[in-house]
Structure 1
Amino acid sequence: MLIAKMHGAGNDFVVVEGTPPAGGRDVELVRQLADRRRGIGADGVLFLERLNDKLDKLDKLDKSDTLDTLDTLDKSDVSADLRMHFYNSDGGRAGLCLNGARCAALRALQLGWSTGEMRIQTEYSLLHASVQTADDTARVRLLLPVPEAAPRQLKLPDQTVATHGWAVHTGDPHLVVETAAGTMDDFEAQARPLRWWTGPDDAGSNVHFVHR
C-alpha cells in the first residue's frame, strides 16, 4: 500500500493507493491517518483505485471470463480510469472534493496510471482531469458536470448578511449568498450561522459570498 501526503489550494490530504478496508475499518483507519498529533495529519483521506488496468485485462480474457469479471465492476467504472473514495478527517464520506480530486489526478500521473488526461469516478459524478507539469510544479484542470438539480432559493435567518441565498448540490452541498461589496469584514462569523441553513437533514454546507 503506497501512501502520499499532498496538498491542493490550501487543503491537505493523505492519498492511499487501493480500496478502503471493509467492515467499518475504513473509518478507524481514516481517523488514524488524519490525526494531526498521532497520525500523518490531513483535512481528508483519498483512496485511489485504478480502473483502466482492470479494463485492459478484460480485453485479454475469453468471453465467459469477461462477463464474470464485468459483474465485479460498477457500470460507471467502465468509462473511468480511476475511482476516488473521499473521506473527511472524521471518517465521514463525501460525494466530491475538488481539491482532493486535483491531488488524485496528480497522484495518478505520478503512479503511471495516466499520461496527463484522465477520467476520475467519484461518488457523485465522473470528472475529466488534465495535468500539466513543469519543473517542480503541476497544474491540474477539472471539467465539472452540470449540477443535477437547479439552485434552490432559500430565505435566510434574520440578522444575517443577506435575506436570501441559493442552495446547490455539486457532490457536496453549497450555499451561495449575494452580498453588497465591502460587507465581509468577518467572513467566518458571517458564514457560521448559515452553514446548516440549507435543510434540517443537511450535514452542513460550504458557504460562499459573492457580490457584483
Structure 2
Amino acid sequence: MDPATRDFWDARYAAAEGYLFGEAPNAFLAAQAARLQPGLTALAVADGDGRNGVWLAQQGLSVTTTDVSPRAVDKARALAARRGVALDARVADLATWTWPEAAFDVVVAIFIQFAPPPARDLMFRRMAAALKPGGLLILQGYRPEQLAYGTGGPGQVENLYTEALLRSAFADLEILHLASHDSDLDEGAAHRGRSALIDLVARRP
C-alpha cells in the first residue's frame, strides 16, 4: 500500500466531523433498491467510511466493503455495528488487492475517481470481472463539467467520466441505464451542492 495515499485519506477521514460523506446512502444507489434482493453478494469499491456498504447490508445483502484508509474502515465497522448489520470491511489498496473473480451479484462504485486513467482502466476491468454472470454494476461519478461547480470530486479532468468513456470501458456488459444530469447533492461535507453527474447500471451477460 502506498503510505502517502493511505495517510492522505486517513487525514481526511480524521478531520471530518462525523462521517465525511454522511451516513445516508448515495441517492442514486438507494434509487436502485428494486434491483436488489436479500441474500445477494455485494462489493462496495472504495467505500470510504461505509455509508453505502452499510445500506446494502441493511437491504439484506452479504457485503464486502473496501477502502485504502484504515480509519475509514474502522468507521465503517462502527456504523455497521450501530445499525445492527454484518459487514466484511477490508483495508485494501485496489491497485494491489487480489480482486475476487465472478464472486459478486452486485458491484457498487460511487465516486471512486481518485485513480488516473491507467489505474482506473485496470480497476474497471477488475470490477467487471468480479461480477457473477448476470451480476449488476452500479456506478455514479462526476462529469468534466463538475470542475466548474467545484462542489466535490477530483480536480483532474482526466479522472472524470463521460458517457463515451463508460460505454467503452464496459463494452462487454449490457448497459441497462446510462444518464448524464446536473443535480444537487447533500452527502456530508465533501459532496454538497449542484453537481455534474453520470449514472450507470450495467449487467454482466
The TM-score normalised by the length of structure 1 is 0.28
Would you tell me which structure has more helix in proportion to its own residues? 2
Q: Flag the structure with more relative contact order, 1 or 2, with Cα contacts below 8 A and sequence separation at least 6.
A: 2
Which has the larger Rg? 1
| TM-score normalised according to structure 2 size | 0.29
